[in-house]
Amino acid sequence: MYSVVIPVYRNAEFIPLLIKEFSRISTIVQERLGLPIEFVFVVDGSPDNSYELLEEALPEAPFSSQLIMHARNFGSFAAIRTGLKAASGDYIGTIAADLQEPPDLLLQFAEALQTGAYDIVIGVREGRDDPFLSRASANLFWAVYRKLINREIPKRGVDVFACNRRVRDELLQLQEAHSSLVGLVFWLGFRRGEIPYRRTARAYGRSAWTLRKKFNYLLDSVFAFTDLPIRILTLLGLLGTLFAVLFGISIAIMRLVGNIDVPGYAATIAVIAFFGALNTLGIGLIGSYTWRAYENTKNRPFAIVQRARSFRGAGPQLAIGAGQTPLGSYRASP
């Protein structure tokens, strides 16, 4: 079986288009690849009526599906993790509910995984039709991500991927709060393939992936995957210490030769301010690592499921093969 995970947040306008596109894709996947397919919708505490619209539409859709709702908004990556846990398939793909990634990617993912040549397949953007500011901020984000965290990340970033069950199981075992799902996917290794695509403009509304969320995600990624801030802080500390020693020697020499009659107030304040700021920066960086380590010791679930339903679909379905898990096996408990 092939499972597709779709995190849903403020996507009510897209529901009719999602049903239409997924109906088309499900038919192609079943006819061309001989794979039964299911779509796992995870409504991540969306304040609109996305859940109600899906609950009404899915029983009549020509594909099998699961509909899961989080108790509140936990974030898109938590929603994807919930969907991965619920997925029944031997292959699992992800796609955003705003359909800025073309749905035909799902077919290409399945074809690549079915060959057995890859364990993970990622969608690599060749371009994007977003507004200028959105493109600029995204390009800057992924440039910094590649520079500080993982140089293997494609230049224009990764939003969608698909993997086999083995990779899914390994990924779910990584119980790291405030981490980067993309970073974890690349950290796992395995045989990785790439499929190029062009990101289309958003048809309705505005993306919930704001600049603030990008910045927070970048910080989570930095503190989860690199000790670069600690190394920078150490270097600054060494340079500051060297500066202080040289400055002190120069002041002592000037005092001895009579160039300084009264100790300089400005120089003293400058040195105090410099090392005070450096100390504050160090406490903040160390605190960020400590807080994230503390968060991981709590063992809280990444998300809480409030409701979970399964639908067999109104159209003809291929039989679930031996060894595959039937729908409805997902438990809401963490």
Residues 144 and 266 in one domain: no
166 belongs to a structural domain: yes
Q: Looking at the structure, do residues 130 and 101 belong to the same domain, yes or no?
A: yes
State how far the Cα of 83 lies from the Cα of 127, in Å rounded to an integer: 28
CATH of the domain at 139: 3.90.550.10
Is residue 70 one of the residues assigned to a domain? yes
Look at residue 319 in the predicted model and tell me its pLDDT.
43
Do 179 and 288 have their domain in common? no
pLDDT at 70: 92
Is residue 179 assigned to a domain? Answer: yes
Residues of the chain with pLDDT under 50: 319-334
Total structural domains in the chain? Answer: 2
The whole-model pTM stands at 0.66
Residue 120 lies in a domain: yes
Please indicate, yes or no, whether residues 140 and 48 belong to a single structural domain of this protein: yes
Please indicate, yes or no, if residue 51 is contained in any of the structural domains.
yes
Q: Are residues 238 and 221 in the same domain?
A: no
238 and 220 fall within a common domain: no
Which pLDDT score is estimated for 43?
Answer: 92
Q: Are residues 238 and 212 in the same domain?
A: no
Task: Tell me whether residue 236 is in a domain.
Answer: yes
Considering the domain architecture, whether residues 7 and 142 belong to the same structural domain is answered as yes
The verdict on 242 and 218 lying in the same domain is no
The answer to whether residues 154 and 127 belong to one domain is yes
What is residue 300's predicted lDDT score, i.e. its pLDDT? 63
Integer Cα distance of 121 and 117 in angstroms: 10
Residues 197 and 62 in one domain: yes
Give the model's pLDDT for residue 41: 94
User: Do both 198 and 274 map to the same domain?
Assistant: no
Residue range 118-148, pLDDT digits in tens: 999 988 877 665 656 666 666 666 666 667 6
Domain range enclosing 174: 2-225+305-311
Residue 290 has a pLDDT of 72
Q: Domain for residue 138, yes or no?
A: yes
The answer as to whether 139 is a domain residue is yes
pLDDT of residue 178: 65
316 is written with which tokens? 């003809």
Three-state SS for the chain is CEEEEEEECCCHHHHHHHHHHHHHHHHHHHHHHCCCEEEEEEECCCCCCHHHHHHHHHHHCCCEEEEEEECCCCCHHHHHHHHHHHCCCCEEEECCCCCCCCCHHHHHHHHHHHCCCCCEEEEEEEEECCCHHHHHHHHHHHHHHHHHCCCCCCCCCCCCEEEEHHHHHHHHHCCCCCCCHHHHHHHHCCCEEEEEEEECCCCCCCCCCCHHHHHHHHHHHHHHHCCHHHHHHHHHHHHHHHHHHHHHHHHHHHHHCCCCCCCCHHHHHHHHHHHHHHHHHHHHHHHHHHHHHHHHHCCCCCCCEEEEEEECCCCCCCCCCCCCCCCCCCCCCC
